[in-house]
């Protein structure tokens, strides 16, 4: 299969982050890792839910779920835990891998996220280089190495097969 057709079936990475600085760093890190997946930056939890449920400006988007959601916890309008609660409570969305990327090391946030079914919880490193490296590793694992759930990508078109 040619690479152009393979790339067409690569699933988006959703970055849900309200901090312009952290979003810019994450986008830079994912681009620097040369991932072919499109990265869509959503600014808060309400926008993420609109995307996932195809509401508002996203009502005409193509069917299908993202490869992974990189989700901040502390956001305006709808926080990350509520987004996670809705994703994992909706059968059509529940298999989407969700990685919380937050500055919070609080036990209650960790317990709440894992209790709701988060796939991974990453505390954002404070140092620029460490933050970039963490995002690269998370992106590479979930977008390249992780095998997506059955039916989420057409079988014959998955990863150039």
Give the helix ranges, DSSP H, for 18-123.
20-32, 45-52, 80-89, 107-115
pTM of the complete model beyond 0.75: yes
Pairwise CA distance, residues 159 & 161, whole Å: 6
Q: Write the pLDDT tens digit of every residue in 106-149.
A: 999 999 999 999 999 988 877 777 877 777 777 777 776 777 76
User: Which residue in 5, 99, 8 sits closest to 62, CA to CA?
Assistant: 8
Q: Is the pLDDT of residue 156 over 50?
A: no
Percentage of residues in the chain with pLDDT exceeding 70? 81
Do the Cβ atoms of 75 and 42 come closer than 8 Å? no
Span 69-80, average pLDDT: 94
Q: Write the pLDDT tens digit of every residue in 7-41.
A: 445 678 899 999 998 888 888 877 776 667 788 99
Q: Is the pLDDT of residue 161 over 50?
A: no
Residue 3's pLDDT band, with cuts at 50, 70 and 90, is very low
Pairwise CA distance, residues 8 & 63, whole Å: 13
Higher pLDDT, 156 or 45: 45
pLDDT the model gives residue 18: 94
Domains annotated on the chain, with CATH:
3-160 (3.40.50.2300)
Mean of pLDDT over the chain: 82
């Amino acid at each position: 299969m040619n690479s152009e057709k393979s790339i067409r079936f690569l699933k988006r990475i959703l970055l849900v982050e309200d901090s312009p600085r952290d979003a810019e760093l994450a986008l830079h890190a994912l681009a620097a890792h040369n991932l072919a997946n499109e990265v869509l930056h959503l600014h808060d939890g309400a926008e993420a839910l609109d995307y996932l449920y195809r509401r508002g400006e996203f009502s005409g988007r193509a069917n299908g779920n993202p490869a992974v959601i990189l989700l901040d916890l502390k956001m305006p309008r709808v926080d990350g835990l509520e987004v996670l609660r809705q994703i994992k409570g909706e059968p059509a969305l529940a298999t989407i891998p969700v990685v919380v990327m937050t500055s919070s090391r609080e036990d209650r946030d960790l317990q709440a996220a894992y209790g709701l079914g988060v796939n991974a919880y990453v505390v954002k490193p404070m140092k620029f280089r460490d933050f970039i490296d963490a995002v690269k590793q998370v992106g590479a694992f979930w977008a390249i190495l992780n095998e997506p759930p059955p039916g989420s990508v057409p079988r014959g078109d998955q990863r150039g097969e």
